[in-house]
A and B are shown apart, each in its own frame.
Chain A
């Protein structure tokens, strides 16, 4: 309910004892998601993020006397679409209200929000919690959604040492506030929920979810209580600006050793917002069923719902045979999933192998170069081509990584061209491999002797020699068999 500009107290929980194990936490999230619209919620001013200071400002946004709000229809549609994706009930009639408080970046002295009847209520969302570093396997949980409402953002104050400056570019930016029920138990769940929400909003294209631009802001309410006892004092943590932050801030609250409350504002009084119906906006009607008198029809909007993350994960598992964890990771990274699907459309391949290649090899390679999936400069089908070559035995898994590195260096060569150019093609020809292996057995008398005298490690050394001599090109699975065969003859 609070826009970004307003700073409310950040009270660190009291009553946190040292015996962590006996304490339980309850987390509720409030998310402000900026609706990805071209113009503001109640004015025609543009919403472009990087615009010069005070350039995205209409007369209404600076509260010039006599101006009136005009509701942006697109924002309502985006709100309804999002609410439907979150399984909310759409209110056939909702209202706008004024919430009063003085703040320099709130020019009207009030914020227009939906207090009496929000756009939608009573939703729920199932999601998977899976942090590889924390959880051995994923688990599913469910969170209730109290309401989703439309409201305007405030502007931004910049405080210099002797003066304050105001930028009203954000003032009036459309926000959806999603209030989740306090159904979460820890920061991991909170982070997983936000990831899921981002996945949904990005698929709906109702919010860019760019946290660094303030397009998605999360407030967490944390209560700590002993098992079987009533909930403790609620702690409000405002404006967590990254998914990581959700865990960090939470953890800090958990570990706080001092039993103190740290107030951020000088007065610890409850602000009375003196809510009042916004008289300049008629009630907002959302039609359902076959009727539509020019108003927005929720059922028509429902037909436009795209595939949501949970549906995508199920499809990846049921239709493409991926594991649950693979489906979670792919669906959490829209760009990676996109590559997966585009590459797959170029022809059949081992999907599990391909998913692993993306999740392990591609991620690792990108990390090394400090790049993101969306920075890839080559065709996604190239990645599929690499895996197909591995599958066919044309290249080894190690070579696959080399090809990937080459692709990431730039250039326009396809994997096949890279392989040919570098002569990286795997040697799989049985006769040729036998020839190589025999010559190594002849050359490396000492290793062979060690092996025959019972040193199992020596076998690996032989394989190492093959790799070296063939520049990683030998099909190691086959070499393994050939060595065993050849050496077993020797034992006899």
Chain B
């Protein structure tokens, strides 16, 4: 019966409908598996009580044959930077270690209204600032692929590493991550699962503790493209609590079976600037292979140029640090969060609380961001970065005149070993890790990472598709087409 966790949402929903399994049984095995895979550190908090409560309610609905949606009873995970009512939401930080929100993020609320069962709050880099899920006060998450022991393991990628592991191991069918520069797609790529970064504004940010407001989007992690669509259909659409959410009504996506699709005359671009000196041979070969497969399926593959790609990382770095400096200024230990034992003055209370409550990465970004925002530097850094951001967005606007989708690597390599990864600074790692994913955030366009194959070392290799704003239906359809052809050997197949 445990193997049910290795299937997909459509199958589980049918089994629930046919009463071949109950929601409580499903919840039990999910919670059991969460315990079994604890050493990979997917969760900061396992929400067992809440899961059982939600499970009971869902089971009642199924017993009456009145499930709310296809997500009713489905175990999921939420990254621990989304506010969950009465459930501690830490951002993997000392600052919010004991922070219990009184409200649900819109994404959490919508999933709950669809009947999902929350198994746990998943691990991340502190305040989502990272690309490895190594900078968490609760320790790093560990990749299941290539794991040997606690000294020899690969990183999950990040910052949504916990969510990725929860999905890859089958604890959950889907998980919510966040994606600012690649934080959903990067760990999806390293963990061999599907990771979608929707169009900016398609999914509400209300309740997502922000990293870079103008780029953050809730991301979706699943094992299959169909499951990704099911979850997207449950959470997308206008939210009056988020003034940047798209007011155009969301139309639910329905994908045809992969066998019935055709790629005839679909124009897919290969941006040459995504070929980078750090790109590994295995990833490069996979990129070519898939391009060839698509071409032989009738698509038109075309080399395109996006000349400003190389500036994206430095531009992102500036914008990121400025918004971080601003967003983090609310953590002063007064209203909520960590408060240092310091009563000599208000200023000292702030300084000590912030110094003790944030890790070095966060403190560095705050300091640099404030430097960039100084009146004398504003033009030179922040405003210039905004201009470069527009140029990068223009690259995308122009390329859509030639092609409908872009195919690129998601990450330059397979998942690095933890001990190698931590040799480099957070800053250098982000520059390297986000290279292929980050431009989509600059432009706001949707992007999806699809697992393709395993490398000779047995580590997942993934590719990324990007499309124009709100092109999710086509993006997901082509992702499903590729998924069907490559038949990636999922980790759960061997459980």
Contacts and interface: CB of A to CB of B under 8 A. Distances in A.
A65 to B, nearest CB: 4
B373 A102 contact: no
Interface residues of B, number: 44
Contact of A65 (B209, B243, B323, B374): B209
B335 A68 contact: no
Interface stretch (A4-12, A106-114, A418-426): A106-114
A107 B206 contact: no
Contacts of A70: 240-241, 243
A450 B326 CA distance: 92
B268 interface: no
Interface in B42-90: 82-83, 89
Interface stretch (B14-22, B97-105, B190-198, B219-227): B97-105
Interface string A92-106: 000000101010100
Q: Which of B89, B105, B240, B332 has the most CB of A within 10 A?
A: B332
A272 interface: yes
B373 A282 contact: no
Contact of A100 (B241, B242, B326): B326
Contacts of A274: 325-326, 370, 373-375
Contacts of B214: 279
B330 A109 contact: yes
Contacts of B206: 66-68
Which of under 10, 10 to 19, 20 to 34, or 35 or more describes the interface residues of A? 20 to 34
Interface in B355-385: 370, 373-375, 378, 382
A275 interface: yes
B65 to A, nearest CB: 36
A7 to B, nearest CB: 13
Interface in A241-288: 272-276, 279-282
B382 A276 contact: yes
A69 B243 contact: yes
Interface string A119-133: 000000000000000
A107 B334 contact: yes
A108 B243 contact: no
Nearest to B334: A104
Nearest to A281: B243
Contacts of A62: 335-336
A113 to B, nearest CB: 13
B205 interface: yes
Nearest to B382: A276
A289 B87 CA distance: 50
Contact of B323 (A68, A69, A102, A279): A279
B213 interface: yes
B347 interface: yes
A102 B353 CA distance: 13
A66 B208 contact: yes
A371 interface: no
Contact of B329 (A64, A104, A108): A108
B162 interface: no
Nearest to A294: B247
B327 to A, nearest CB: 9
Contacts of A280: 213, 242-244
B330 A276 contact: no
A100 B329 contact: yes
B138 interface: no
Given A65-B99, A69-B243, A98 B326 contact: yes
B243 A109 contact: no
B170 interface: no
A59 interface: yes
A257 B332 CA distance: 43
A104 B96 contact: no
Nearest to B208: A66
Contacts of B374: 272, 274
A63 B208 contact: no
A109 B322 contact: no
A69 B83 CA distance: 16
A107 B243 contact: no
Contacts of A282: 243-244
B381 to A, nearest CB: 11
Given A102-B332, A104-B334, A65 B241 contact: no
B332 A68 contact: no
27 contacts: A59-B102, A62-B336, A64-B102, A65-B89, A65-B209, A65-B210, A66-B83, A66-B105, A66-B206, A66-B207, A68-B206, A69-B243, A100-B329, A102-B332, A107-B332, A108-B330, A109-B330, A164-B346, A274-B373, A274-B375, A275-B373, A275-B375, A275-B378, A276-B326, A280-B213, A280-B242, A280-B244
Interface of B: 82-83, 89, 91, 96, 99, 101-103, 105, 205-210, 212-214, 240-244, 322-323, 325-326, 328-330, 332, 334-336, 346-347, 350, 370, 373-375, 378, 382
Closest 3 CB pairs of A and B: A109-B329, A274-B373, A279-B213
Interface of A: 59, 62-71, 98, 100, 102, 104, 107-110, 164, 166, 272-276, 279-282
